[in-house]
């Protein structure tokens, strides 16, 4: 009898051995069927892993179903509208801890939360909180590259949720895309990305150093900063750099159009505007970074240098892999490649 007890204890100990999350915390997981996603981007990574139906509660702002975050195409609207609301959602805002306790999930996945907040939520609810990461300046380790953090987060979710195959499938696909992009095109032009959303829509001067789409293609980002992540530059700096090609994030479209009206002569003096080398890209950030759009944008950028690339086909393939073939049709097929 004693022997059996010892074996049982040993098995349960092995099963609940701690894992290291993306903030290097030791988290002990006992069960993995009911889960919650808290903070910008947590639900995105879970839905890439096809776990959107395991969530037992939802943040209020996810209910907008706004497809500027393409992963929301994957959410079953009628289902999630019946889920209890665990808080407003958004960086810095705490969830409703009482609701979380009464839902009694097995695991909480958190993204873009401070270490203090994560520990506090875990201490109060007694439910293991696993920190995910979108890399530097998006709630992750300083100067840690975005796509690497994403892959590590996906593989962490995979091992916790017994979905290692899906994690491997996604990561392999991401690696394949990256290899393809690395050899796709060459250019010595000066590239600039503007209109990057950061906690809401922003204008032309909102940029990103180490913008992943440029890096994947091996193109020179005209914004050089040692710090990886979001950066706000001055108009004068942009005039001084005078990029050859400007890409603008659709999220900032309204603000950008206003800016172009009010400072028309200034912006129109830039080489890119004079040569009609200004193009829209899909939203990079909307409730944290849209990973599928990072790859799609990379192909769009490449197609502006090498027009032979079949964007429509590639876009469908990427959506299919991240979001599933039934859902990729939901995403609007607007022709965003022209700029007026």
Partner 1 sequence: MNKKLLVSIILLLLTSTFFVVSLFTSSNGVNFGDLQRVIDGDERVLLIFEQIRLPRALVAFFAGASLALSGALMQAVLKNPLASPFTLGISQASAFGASFAIIVLQSYSSVFIFSGSFITTICAFGASLICTFVILYLGKSTQMRAESLILAGVAIGALFSAMTMFLQYFATEVDVSATLFWTFGDLSKADIYTSVIIACVFVPSLLFFYQRFWKFDALLLGNESAINLGVSVVRLRVGAMIVASLLSAITVSFLGIIGFIGLIAPHIIRLILGSGHKMLLPLSAILGGGLLLLADIISRVIIIPLVVPVGILTAFLGAPLFLYLLTRKKN
Angle between helices 146-160 and 164-182 (to 10 degrees): 160
| Cα–Cα dist 139/129, whole Å | 15
* Paired tokens of 149: 């953090």
Segment 215-274, which members bind partner 1 (CB under 8 A)?
Answer: 230
Nearest distance from C-beta of residue 295 to partner 1, angstroms: 24
Q: Which lies closer to partner 1 via its Cβ, residue 223 or residue 323?
A: 223
Quickly tell me which residue has 């808290």 as its tokens. 38
Segment 3-22, which members bind partner 1 (CB under 8 A)?
Answer: none
Angle between helices 164-182 and 311-323 (to 10 degrees): 160
Nearest distance from C-beta of residue 325 to partner 1, angstroms: 35
Using rule CB under 8 A, residue 287 touches partner 1 = no
| Cα–Cα dist 76/110, whole Å | 21
Q: 248 forms bridges with which residues in the sheet?
A: 194, 280
Nearest distance from C-beta of residue 139 to partner 1, angstroms: 5
**In sequence order, which residues have a C-beta less than 8 Å from that of residue 131 and are 6 or more positions away?**
21, 22, 23, 25, 110, 111, 113, 115, 118
Q: Which lies closer to partner 1 via its Cβ, residue 64 or residue 102?
A: 102
Using rule CB under 8 A, residue 26 touches partner 1 = no
Q: Of residues 91, 305, 309, 311, which one binds partner 1 by CB under 8 A?
A: 91
Q: Under DSSP, is residue 162 helix (H, G, I), strand (E, B) or coil?
A: coil
User: CA distances (Å), 245 to each of 256, 266, 305, in order?
Assistant: 16, 16, 10
Helices (H), 218-290: 235-241, 253-262, 264-268, 271-274
Nearest distance from C-beta of residue 98 to partner 1, angstroms: 5
Using rule CB under 8 A, residue 101 touches partner 1 = yes
Using rule CB under 8 A, residue 123 touches partner 1 = yes
x/- letters, 51..90, toward partner 1 (CB under 8 A): ---------x-----------------------xx-xx--
Count of residues that bind partner 1 according to CB under 8 A:
33
Please name the helix (run of DSSP H) or strand (run of DSSP E) that holds residue 26, with its range, or none.
strand 26-27
Using rule CB under 8 A, residue 99 touches partner 1 = yes
Which residues here bind partner 1, judged by CB under 8 A?
Answer: 60, 84-85, 87-88, 91-94, 96-99, 101-102, 104, 112-117, 120, 123-126, 137-139, 142, 199, 230
């Amino acid at each position: 009898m004693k022997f059996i007890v010892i074996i049982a204890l040993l098995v349960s100990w092995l099963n609940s051995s701690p894992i290291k999350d993306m903030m290097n915390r030791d988290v002990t997981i006992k069960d993995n069927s009911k889960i919650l996603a808290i903070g910008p981007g947590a639900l995105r990574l879970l839905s890439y892993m096809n776990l959107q139906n395991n969530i037992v509660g939802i943040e209020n702002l996810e209910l907008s179903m706004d497809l500027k975050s393409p992963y929301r195409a994957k959410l079953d609207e009628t289902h999630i509208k019946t889920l209890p609301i665990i808080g407003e959602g958004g960086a810095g805002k705490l969830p409703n801890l009482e609701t979380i306790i009464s839902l009694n999930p097995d695991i909480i996945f958190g993204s873009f939360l401070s270490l203090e907040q994560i520990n506090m939520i875990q201490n109060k609810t007694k439910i293991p909180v696993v920190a995910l990461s979108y890399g530097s300046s998006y709630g992750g380790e300083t100067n840690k590259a975005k796509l690497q953090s994403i892959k590590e987060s996906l593989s962490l979710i995979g091992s916790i949720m017994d979905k290692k195959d899906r994690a491997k499938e996604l990561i392999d696909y991401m690696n394949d895309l990256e290899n393809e992009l690395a050899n796709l095109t060459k250019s010595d032009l000066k590239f600039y990305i503007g209109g990057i959303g950061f906690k809401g829509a922003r204008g032309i001067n909102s940029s990103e150093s180490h913008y992943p789409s440029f890096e994947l293609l091996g193109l020179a980002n005209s914004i050089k900063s040692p710090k990886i992540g979001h950066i706000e530059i001055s108009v004068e700096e942009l005039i001084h750099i005078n990029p050859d090609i400007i890409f603008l994030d659709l999220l900032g479209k309204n603000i950008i159009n206003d800016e172009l009206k009010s400072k028309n002569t200034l912006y129109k003096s830039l080489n890119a505007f004079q040569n009609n080398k200004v193009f829209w890209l899909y939203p990079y950030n909307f409730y944290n970074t849209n990973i599928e759009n990072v790859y799609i944008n990379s192909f769009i950028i490449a197609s502006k240098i090498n027009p032979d690339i079949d964007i429509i086909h590639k876009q469908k393939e990427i959506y299919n892999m991240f979001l599933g073939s039934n859902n990729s049709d939901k995403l609007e097929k607007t022709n965003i490649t022209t700029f007026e």
